[in-house]
Structure 1
Amino acid sequence: MDVEKVKRWSKYTDRVEGYKDLKYVLEYCLDRHLTDEERSRINWLAESGWDNVGCLVDMFREIAKKKQ
């Protein structure tokens, strides 16, 4: 694994950080607030491991950049 990614994604060992970043980037991409059900799923995903969360956040950010 890329050392830079490990450094960048290591903050996602904290579920709260993962949830916050996933929620923010998804709301930005979707241009709306998430529903209660969607937030619940994001909370579940935030516990799926730092590397999974980091990869998802990066992909969603890539989509957000394409939106601009």
Structure 2
Amino acid sequence: MVCVPGCVQCGASNPCRCKVVGPTLGFLAFAAAGVVEWPVGAVVYLFRRMKGRRIMAHPATVVYPSVSRAIPI
């Protein structure tokens, strides 16, 4: 059984138990959402500060974790 360097738990059904695909796609989704939501959040922040902060935090608090957890590899 071949194990990717850097993985520590070999011998299971997922030989290395390293999540690579999920966090990578999560980061891409985070970046795509950030490109849209951060400028919108910055404009909203000028008038409604808490709402603007929530909009700008959405990629980090909702998008990245949900995409990263959805893909088990």
TM normalised by structure 1 equals: 0.31
> Who wins on radius of gyration, i.e. which is larger?
2
- Which structure dedicates a bigger proportion of its chain to helix? 1
TM normalised by structure 2 equals: 0.30
